[in-house]
Amino acid sequence: MRVDVGVNGTRYVDEVEPRLLLVHYLREVRGLKATNVGCDSSSCGACTVLVDGESVKSCTTLAAQADGREVTTVEGLAESDGSMHSMQQAFREEHALQCGFCTPGMVMASVGLLSENPKPTEEEIRLALEGNLCRCTGYHNIVRAVRRAAGTLDEDGANA
Amino acid sequence: MAAGTSILGTRVLRTEDPSFLTRGAVYTDDIVDDRLTGAVYVTFVRSPVAHGRIVSIDKTAALAAEGVVDVVTAEDLEGVGLLPPPPGSAQGKQMRRSILAADVVRFVGEPVAAVVTQERYQGEDAAELVGVDIEPLPAVVDPREAAKDEVLLFPDAGTNTTYTSDRESDPTMFDDCEVVVTQEVINQRVAAVPLEVRAMAAAAGADGRLVVWAPSQGAQGFKSTIVRVLKQDEDQVHVVTPEVGGGFGAKIFPDAEHLLVPWLAKRLDRPVRWVETRSENLLAMPQGRGQIQTVTIGGRRDGTVQAYRLDVLQDSGCGGMASVLASLTALMAPGVYDIAKVEANARSVATNTAPVAAFRGAGRPEATAAVERAMDLFAAEIGMDPADVRRKNVVAPDKFPFRTSMGALYDSGEYAAALDKVLAGAGYEDLRREQQQRRDRGDVVQLGLGMSTYVEITGGGLEASGDDENATVEIHADGSATVLTGTSPHGQGHATAWAMLVSEQTGIPLEKVTVKHGDTDLIPKGGGTGGSRSLQLGGSAVFTTTQQLVELAKERAAALLEANPDDLVVDTENAGLGVVGTPGTSVSFADLAAKEELRAEGVFAAPGPTYPFGAHLAAVEVDTESGKVVLRRLVTVDDAGTVLNPLLFDGQRHGGLAQGVAQALFEEVLYDEDGNPQTTTFADYPIVSATELPSFELLTMETPTSYNPLGAKGIGEAATIGSTPAVQNAVVDALAHLGVRHVDMPLTPERVWSAVTAAGEGNA
What are the tens digits of pLDDT across the range A116-137? 999 999 999 999 999 999 999 9
Per the CB < 8 Å rule, is B651 touching A141? Answer: yes
- Residue of chain B minimizing CA distance to A102: B195
Minimal Cα–Cα distance from A3 to chain B, Å? 19
Per the CB < 8 Å rule, is A91 touching B655? Answer: no
Chain A residues with CB inside 8 Å of B651's CB?
Answer: 95, 98, 136-137, 141
- Residue of chain A minimizing CA distance to B660: A138
A104 touches chain B (CB under 8 A): yes
Strand ranges across the sheet with B104-105: B104-105, B52-58, B131-136
| DSSP summary character for residue B591 | H
A137 touches chain B (CB under 8 A): yes
Concatenating the DSSP letter of every residue in B289-354 gives EEEEEEEEEEE-TTS-EEEEEEEEEEE-TTT-STHHHHHHHHHTTTTTB--SEEEEEEEEE--SSS
pTM of the entire structure? 0.96
Largest CA distance in chain A: 55
Per the CB < 8 Å rule, is A38 touching B278? Answer: yes
Q: How far apart are CA A68 and CA B454, in angstroms?
A: 57
Helix ranges (DSSP H) in B666-701:
none
Per the CB < 8 Å rule, is B121 touching A46? Answer: no
Which of A78, A129, A135 lies at the smallest CB-CB distance from B246? Answer: A135
A55 touches chain B (CB under 8 A): no
B25 touches chain A (CB under 8 A): yes
Which amino acid, residue B112? V
Concatenating the DSSP letter of every residue in B338-385 gives --SEEEEEEEEE--SSS-B---TTTTHHHHHHHHHHHHHHHHHHHT--
Taking a C-beta distance cutoff of 8 angstroms, is the pair B305, B297 a contact? yes
Regarding beta strands B341-349 and B305-315, do their DSSP bridges make them parallel or antiparallel, or are they unpaired? parallel
Helix ranges (DSSP H) in A3-121:
22-24, 86-93, 103-116
Taking a C-beta distance cutoff of 8 angstroms, is the pair B347, B165 a contact? yes
Question: Quick one: which H or E segment has residue B188?
Answer: strand B179-190
Chain A residues with CB inside 8 Å of B26's CB?
Answer: 33
Taking a C-beta distance cutoff of 8 angstroms, is the pair B60, B126 a contact? no
| DSSP summary character for residue B96 | P
Taking a C-beta distance cutoff of 8 angstroms, is the pair A7, A71 a contact? yes
Minimal Cα–Cα distance from A137 to chain B, Å? 4
Per the CB < 8 Å rule, is A101 touching B20? Answer: no
Which of B14, B24, B696 lies at the smallest CB-CB distance from A34? Answer: B24
Q: How many CB pairs under 8 A join A and B?
A: 174
pLDDT interval class at A82 (50, 70, 90): confident
Taking a C-beta distance cutoff of 8 angstroms, is the pair B493, A98 a contact? yes
Minimal Cα–Cα distance from A69 to chain B, Å? 22
Chain A residues with CB inside 8 Å of B125's CB?
Answer: none
Residue B722 phi, psi dihedral angles, 5° rounding: -75, -35
Q: What percent of chain A has pLDDT over 70?
A: 96
Check whether the bond before B334 is cis (ω within 30° of 0): no
Chain B residues with CB inside 8 Å of A136's CB?
Answer: 195, 246, 491, 651, 655
Taking the CA of residue B437 as centre, how many other CA atoms within 13 Å lie in the half-sphere pointing to its CB?
Answer: 6
Per the CB < 8 Å rule, is A99 touching B655? Answer: no
Chain A residues with CB inside 8 Å of B723's CB?
Answer: none
What is chain A's mean pLDDT, rounded?
A: 95
Q: How far apart are CA B687 and CA B189, in angstroms?
A: 13
Chain B residues with CB inside 8 Å of A131's CB?
Answer: 689
Angle, CA B235 vertex, CA B230 and CA B240 arms, to 5°: 80
- Residue of chain A minimizing CA distance to B654: A138
SS3 call for B450 = strand
Question: Quick one: which H or E segment has residue A3?
Answer: strand A2-7
Q: How far apart are CA B480 and CA B7, in angstroms?
A: 18
Per the CB < 8 Å rule, is B655 touching A100? Answer: no
A29 touches chain B (CB under 8 A): no
User: What ipTM goes with this model?
Assistant: 0.97
Per the CB < 8 Å rule, is A125 touching B690? Answer: yes
Q: How far apart are CA B154 and CA B195, in angstroms?
A: 33
Chain A residues with CB inside 8 Å of B658's CB?
Answer: 137-140
- Residue of chain A minimizing CA distance to B246: A99
- Residue of chain B minimizing CA distance to A96: B651
A124 touches chain B (CB under 8 A): no
B2 touches chain A (CB under 8 A): no
Per-10-residue mean pLDDT of chain B, 764 residues long, equals 74 97 98 96 98 98 98 95 86 91 97 97 96 98 98 96 88 97 98 98 91 97 96 96 97 96 96 98 97 98 98 92 87 97 96 96 96 98 98 97 93 96 98 98 98 94 72 98 97 97 97 98 95 95 98 95 92 93 89 97 95 98 98 98 98 98 98 98 95 97 96 96 98 97 98 94 61
- Residue of chain A minimizing CA distance to B656: A138
A86 touches chain B (CB under 8 A): no
Cα B604 from chain centroid (whole Å): 22
Q: How far apart are CA B478 and CA B575, in angstroms?
A: 11
Of the residues B20, B37, B643, the best mutation for testing chain A's interface (the one with the most A CB atoms within 10 Å of its CB) is: B20
A34 touches chain B (CB under 8 A): yes
Average pLDDT estimate for A36-56:
96
Angle, CA A17 vertex, CA A16 and CA A21 arms, to 5°: 90
CA distances from B495 to B26, B292, B485, B510 (A): 15, 40, 10, 9
Residue B211 phi, psi dihedral angles, 5° rounding: -110, 130
pLDDT score recorded for residue B465: 63
pLDDT score recorded for residue B763: 54
Per the CB < 8 Å rule, is A88 touching B22? Answer: yes
A31 touches chain B (CB under 8 A): yes
Chain A residues with CB inside 8 Å of B696's CB?
Answer: 138, 140
Per the CB < 8 Å rule, is A140 touching B24? Answer: no
Which amino acid, residue A65? Q
Question: Quick one: which H or E segment has residue B402?
Answer: strand B402-403
B21 touches chain A (CB under 8 A): yes
Minimal Cα–Cα distance from B428 to chain A, Å? 20
Taking a C-beta distance cutoff of 8 angstroms, is the pair B283, B354 a contact? yes
Per the CB < 8 Å rule, is B690 touching A38? Answer: no
Q: Which residues contact B433 (CB under 8 A, 6 or more apart)?
A: none
Which amino acid, residue B680? T
Chain B residues with CB inside 8 Å of A101's CB?
Answer: 25, 27, 194-196, 245-246
Per the CB < 8 Å rule, is B492 touching A98? Answer: yes
pLDDT score recorded for residue B49: 98
Per the CB < 8 Å rule, is A95 touching B244? Answer: no
Q: Residue B169's CB: how many other CB atoms inside 10 A?
A: 9
A23 touches chain B (CB under 8 A): no
Which amino acid, residue A119? K
Of the residues B14, B17, B688, the best mutation for testing chain A's interface (the one with the most A CB atoms within 10 Å of its CB) is: B17
- Residue of chain A minimizing CA distance to B692: A126
Of the residues A93, A110, A140, the best mutation for testing chain B's interface (the one with the most B CB atoms within 10 Å of its CB) is: A140
Per the CB < 8 Å rule, is B656 touching A138? Answer: yes
Which amino acid, residue B102? A
B657 touches chain A (CB under 8 A): yes
